[in-house]
């Protein structure tokens, strides 16, 4: 059947079919997401905080995104794979941004790229789309600008800020973006944007009125037990289960329970070894027979 087209997301919006997305960073997570019927995934720069241990997404490089995009593509056949353009990969110049986006598609195999910003990136989005690069926009709280915002704060709370985000969304649609992520904005603003746009809106911390939702892999699976953003929910507690599994493994190794005979493979003897052992057995039996004959009493005629 081949990989989904970005246009399938617009069809889902027209059918009022909500779009489920999740971040994805490696081959096994891609396999799991596809098996679960997820239509699209984002190789997000959130990998900086959930995988690489940074305190923000700023330090993530283009090579980091490329490295993680490749296995996600290999692990999926149908899903749309959107690769994040990290901080510094599209701010220097439009020409450099085009080269970097092309790398994510040519080397990484991504279906599309995502970048943050409103009016300031509209000319770049227009150039990318004209060059054949599908672009997903990102408005509201844009994590690469977290230092400007003074933290992970809700955006668009004032009338002026809300109007600017709505205008930015419309401009991105006119520039050719095929979808827009709306992060940490009031629910009513997200409803207004989603109503006015023909392209899908994908929310995260934007309420229930967007055309779809995206969440971070580690958050919804409960892989980080001591942290959960307010806008997320644990649909499993895998972090606790992973810890228990490792504790059980440690105990089994220390107590000599693991590995057992079930996990042990005995070496198979070679044919030469088998023949040598058989010869030794025959020789030993021959010696025993000779010795028995010698020891037997000699019968004489009475």
pLDDT class for 295, splitting at 50, 70, 90?
low
Q: Kindly report, residue by residue over 94-107, the tens digit of the pLDDT.
A: 999 999 999 999 99
For the record, the structure tokens of 51 come out as: 């995988």
pLDDT at 147 > cutoff 70: no
Say what the pTM is.
Answer: 0.86
Tell me how far apart the alpha carbons of residues 93 and 121 are, in angstroms, rounded to a whole number: 11
The CATH number for 7-220, chosen from 3.20.20.220, 3.20.20.60, 3.30.1440.10, 3.40.50.970, is 3.20.20.60
Question: Considering only CA atoms, which of 154, 142, 273, 156 is closest in space to residue 205?
Answer: 154
Is the separation of the CB atoms in 168 and 178 below 8 Å? no
Pairing mode of beta strands 80-84, 201-204 = unpaired
When the pLDDT of each residue in the chain is averaged and rounded to a whole number, the result is 92
Contact 66, 25 (CB under 8 A): no
Dihedral sign of CA atoms 99, 128, 16, 2 in order: negative
Query: What are the phi and psi torsion angles at 233 (to 5°)?
Result: -155, 140
More confident residue, 265 or 254: 254
Tell me, what's the pLDDT at 41? 98
Active site residues: 183
Burial call 253-277: b when 16+ CB within 10 Å, e when fewer: eeeeeeeeeeeeeeeeeeeeeeeee
DSSP character string of 16-66: T-PEEEEE--SHHHHHHHHHTT--EEEE-TTHHHHTS--SSSTT--HHHHH
Which residue pairs, CB below 8 angstroms and at least 24 apart, start in 221-230?
223/50, 224/50, 229/205, 230/205
CA 295 to chain centre: 81
Residue 102 to residue 96: CA distance in whole angstroms: 10
Tell me the C-alpha to C-alpha distance, in Å, between residue 45 and each of 87, 95, 221: 9, 21, 18
Shortest CA distance to 21 belongs to which of 222, 247, 213, 163?
213
- pLDDT, one tens digit per residue, over 61-75 is 999 999 999 999 999
At 180-219, the pLDDT tens digits run 999 999 999 999 999 999 999 999 999 999 999 999 999 9
* Least confident stretch, 30-34, 81-85, 247-251, 278-282: 278-282
Ranges 19-28, 227-236, 287-296, most confident: 19-28
């Amino acid at each position: 059947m081949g990989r989904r087209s970005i246009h399938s997301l617009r069809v889902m919006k027209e059918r009022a079919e909500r779009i489920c997305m999740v971040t994805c960073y490696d081959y096994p997570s891609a396999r799991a997401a596809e098996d679960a019927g997820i239509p699209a995934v984002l190789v997000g720069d959130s990998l900086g905080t959930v995988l690489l241990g940074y305190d923000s997404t700023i330090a993530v490089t283009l090579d980091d995104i490329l490295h993680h995009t490749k296995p996600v593509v290999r692990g999926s056949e149908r899903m749309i794979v959107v690769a994040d353009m990290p901080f510094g990969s599209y701010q220097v110049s439009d020409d450099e941004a085009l080269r970097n986006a092309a790398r994510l598609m040519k080397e990484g195999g991504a279906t599309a790229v995502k970048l943050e910003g409103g009016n300031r990136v509209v000319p770049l989005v227009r150039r990318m789309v004209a060059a054949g690069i599908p672009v997903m926009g990102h408005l509201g709280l844009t994590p690469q600008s977290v230092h400007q915002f003074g933290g992970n704060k809700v955006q668009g709370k004032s009338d002026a800020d809300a109007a600017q985000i709505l205008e930015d969304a419309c401009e991105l649609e006119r520039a050719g973006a095929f979808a827009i992520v709306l992060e940490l904005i009031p629910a009513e603003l997200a409803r207004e944007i989603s109503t006015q746009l023909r392209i899908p809106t994908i929310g995260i911390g934007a309420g229930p009125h967007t055309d779809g939702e995206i969440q971070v892999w580690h958050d919804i699976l409960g892989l980080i037990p001591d942290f959960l953003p307010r806008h997320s929910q644990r649909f499993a507690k895998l972090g606790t289960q992973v810890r228990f599994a490792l504790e059980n493994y440690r105990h089994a190794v220390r107590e000599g329970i693991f590995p057992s005979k079930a996990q042990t493979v005995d070496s198979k003897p070679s044919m030469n070894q088998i023949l040598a052992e058989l010869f030794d057995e025959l020789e030993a039996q021959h010696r025993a027979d000779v010795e028995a004959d010698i020891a037997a009493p000699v019968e004489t005629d009475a």
